[in-house]
Amino acid sequence: MTRFAGFAAIDWSGAAGERLAGLAVAWCDAAGGPPRLVYPERRWSRAEVLRWLAQEMPAGTLVGLDIGLALPFADAGGYFPGWADSPADARALWRLVDTLCAGESHLGAGRFVDHPVASRWFRRHGGREGAAFHLAGAATRQGRLRVTERAQAERLGCKPTSMFNLVGAAQVGRASLTAMRVLHRLEGRVPVWPVDPLPGHGSAIVEIYTAIAAIAAGRPPARAKIRSLAGLDEALEAIGSPGMAEAGPIDDHRADALLTAAWLRANACRSELWSPAGLTPALARTEGWTFGVP
């Protein structure tokens, strides 16, 4: 698993608009050295990240994308049980999201969450909670979770949020849905593990949760966000990476990307992370998995 020439981490954003403060791209060389921001002067758009992934990133890069690869499936035997158009697997889900959002600017996903049928499963702003949000025995306000998200909580102490929840600072659902449009458009160009088998050469994409890198650096889950260069250098040193050469202020999105790129470099060689307990072929096709959850 050490065949990759470089490691990238992308802190994603589901915010409205074109150029987003919450998007950050970092890369580090397998040979060593500190991680660096890709185009540090740029405020990225989702379309530019898609172009970088498809055309510009260095060959042989393992990319960590800070999103959920798919919606919960295993708990109810489907993403949207009872809906005739409910997709059978993750790739079909990506295609459905991109198709229903065709024409929406900046690779947004608002048309999907506001769809007259799909919206029944989501909790949206303005107190709009679909009748199916608590489907499959999700009796708490937490909502439905994927198997990998439950494993994050049980094995790593993380506090995942249901991707059907689109409300609050901790929600990741809207960002994940916008990223699914990108993943659909990358089909045939960059494989996505574990939806696709890990190829023997070339680049690949995995799902990451940046809090895992922060926890590995010794930060408690409640203090996973880093907002200073000194804090970032301390975390990088804790995972065996050189600190940053540049000085100046840094935000939590850039820090997340930089630390996680270095964490991927340090951990991509761990065979147990590519064969996590509980990951079945059916889960790989439908829900995916978060790299770093053993």
Tell me what pLDDT residue 132 has.
Answer: 87
Burial class (CB in 10 A: 0-12, 13-18, 19+), 187: middle
- How distant, in Å, are the alpha carbons of 25, 140, 247, 264, 285 from that of 38? 6, 41, 16, 16, 31
Mean pLDDT lowest among 87-96, 242-251, 277-286: 242-251
pLDDT at 125: 85
Report pLDDT digits (tens) over 26-70: 999 999 999 999 999 999 999 999 999 999 999 999 999 999 999
pLDDT of residue 139: 47
Give the model confidence (pLDDT) of 130-168 as tens digits: 888 887 655 456 789 999 999 999 988 888 889 999 988
Give CA–CA dist 21/25, Å, rounded. Answer: 11
- Look at residues 105, 125, 103 and name the one whose alpha carbon lies nearest to residue 113: 125
pLDDT in the model for residue 131: 84
The better pLDDT of the pair 182, 134 is held by 182
The reported pLDDT for the residue numbered 248 is 62
Which residues have C-beta within 8 Å of that of residue 294, sequence separation ≥ 6?
A: 155, 272, 273, 276, 277
Percentage of the chain exceeding pLDDT 70: 96
Reported as a pLDDT band with limits 50, 70 and 90, residue 171 is: confident
pLDDT of residue 145: 94
Which pLDDT score, from 0 to 100, does residue 239 have?
96
pLDDT for 111: 96
Could you tell me the CA-to-CA distances from 90 to 29, 55, 143 in Å, in that order? 30, 24, 20
Query: What average pLDDT does the segment 183-203 reach?
Result: 96
pLDDT of residue 141: 63
Q: What mean pLDDT is predicted for residues 203-219? A: 95
What is the pTM for the complete model shown? 0.94
Q: Mean pLDDT, the chain, as a whole number?
A: 92
Domain boundaries of the chain, sorted by first residue: 1-105+176-294
Distance CA 17, CA 10 (A): 18
Q: What is the pLDDT of residue 224?
A: 80
φ, ψ dihedrals at 44, nearest 5°: -70, 150
What pLDDT is recorded for position 144?
92
Q: What is the pLDDT of residue 17?
A: 93
pLDDT digits (tens, 9 = 90+) for 217-273: 998 877 888 888 999 999 999 999 999 866 566 899 999 999 999 999 999 999 999
When pLDDT is averaged across residues 197-208 and rounded to a whole number, the result is 96
Q: What are phi and psi of 64, to 5 degrees?
A: -100, 125
Percent of all residues in the chain with a pLDDT value above 90, rounded to a whole number: 80
